[in-house]
Amino acid sequence: MGAYFIRRRSRDDLYRRVLRRYVQMSTSGGVTQAIFPEGGLSLDGGLQPPKLGLLRYITDDLDLAARDVVFVPVALNYDRVLEDTVLIGAGESGTRRFEASITHVTLATLKQLWLRVTGRFHRFGYAAVSFGRPLSLRADPALAADAAALAERLLAEIARNVPVLPVPLVAHLLLEKPRRAEDLPGAFAAACTLLEGCHIHLPRADSAYAAQVGLRMLTERGIVVENGGLLAVAPEKQALAGFYARSIAHLFLARRSPEA
pLDDT in tens, 137-146: 999 999 999 9
The residue from 108, 138, 158 where one domain ends is 158
User: What per-residue confidence (pLDDT) applies to 224?
Assistant: 98
User: What per-residue confidence (pLDDT) applies to 109?
Assistant: 64
User: Do 154 and 183 belong together in one domain?
Assistant: no
User: Do 171 and 193 belong together in one domain?
Assistant: yes
C-alpha dist (Å) from residue 79 to 177, 218, 232, 236: 20, 10, 18, 20
User: What per-residue confidence (pLDDT) applies to 258?
Assistant: 45
Is residue 105 situated within a structural domain? no
User: Do 236 and 251 belong together in one domain?
Assistant: yes
- Start-to-end Cα distance in the chain: 41
Find out whether 40 and 83 touch, Cβ atoms under 8 Å: no
Is residue 7 situated within a structural domain? no
Q: What is the pLDDT of residues 156-183, one digit of tens each?
A: 999 999 999 999 999 999 999 999 999 9
Is residue 98 situated within a structural domain? no
What tens-digit pLDDT sequence spans the chain (260 residues)?
566 777 777 778 898 899 999 999 999 899 999 988 888 889 999 999 999 999 999 999 888 989 999 999 999 999 999 889 889 988 887 776 656 556 665 666 666 676 667 766 567 789 999 999 999 999 999 999 999 999 999 999 999 999 999 999 999 999 999 999 999 999 999 999 999 999 999 999 999 999 999 999 999 999 999 999 999 999 999 999 999 999 999 999 988 744 44
User: Do 255 and 197 belong together in one domain?
Assistant: yes
Q: Are strands 74-78 and 224-227 parallel, antiparallel or unpaired?
A: unpaired
User: Do 214 and 138 belong together in one domain?
Assistant: no
User: Do 150 and 194 belong together in one domain?
Assistant: no
User: Do 137 and 59 belong together in one domain?
Assistant: yes
User: Do 260 and 178 belong together in one domain?
Assistant: yes
As a whole number of angstroms, the distance between CA 61 and CA 58 comes to 8
User: Do 224 and 256 belong together in one domain?
Assistant: yes
Q: Closest Cα to residue 162, out of 88, 81, 34, 251?
A: 251
Residues 6 or more apart in contact with residue 186 via CB below 8 angstroms: none
The residue from 142, 158, 174 where one domain ends is 158
User: What per-residue confidence (pLDDT) applies to 114?
Assistant: 64
User: Do 240 and 145 belong together in one domain?
Assistant: no
**What CATH number does residue 175 fall under?**
1.10.10
Q: Go through the chain and tell me how many residues it has.
A: 260
Q: What are phi and psi of 33, to 5 degrees?
A: -125, 140
Boundaries of domain holding 18: 13-78+128-158
Q: Closest Cα to residue 256, out of 194, 198, 176?
A: 194
Is residue 226 situated within a structural domain? yes
User: Do 132 and 72 belong together in one domain?
Assistant: yes
Is residue 202 situated within a structural domain? yes
Structural domain total, the chain: 2
Rounded to two decimals, the pTM is 0.85
Is residue 114 situated within a structural domain? no
User: Do 150 and 213 belong together in one domain?
Assistant: no
User: What per-residue confidence (pLDDT) applies to 7?
Assistant: 77
Is residue 184 situated within a structural domain? yes
Is residue 4 situated within a structural domain? no
As a whole number of angstroms, the distance between CA 109 and CA 190 comes to 37
As a whole number of angstroms, the distance between CA 108 and CA 116 comes to 13
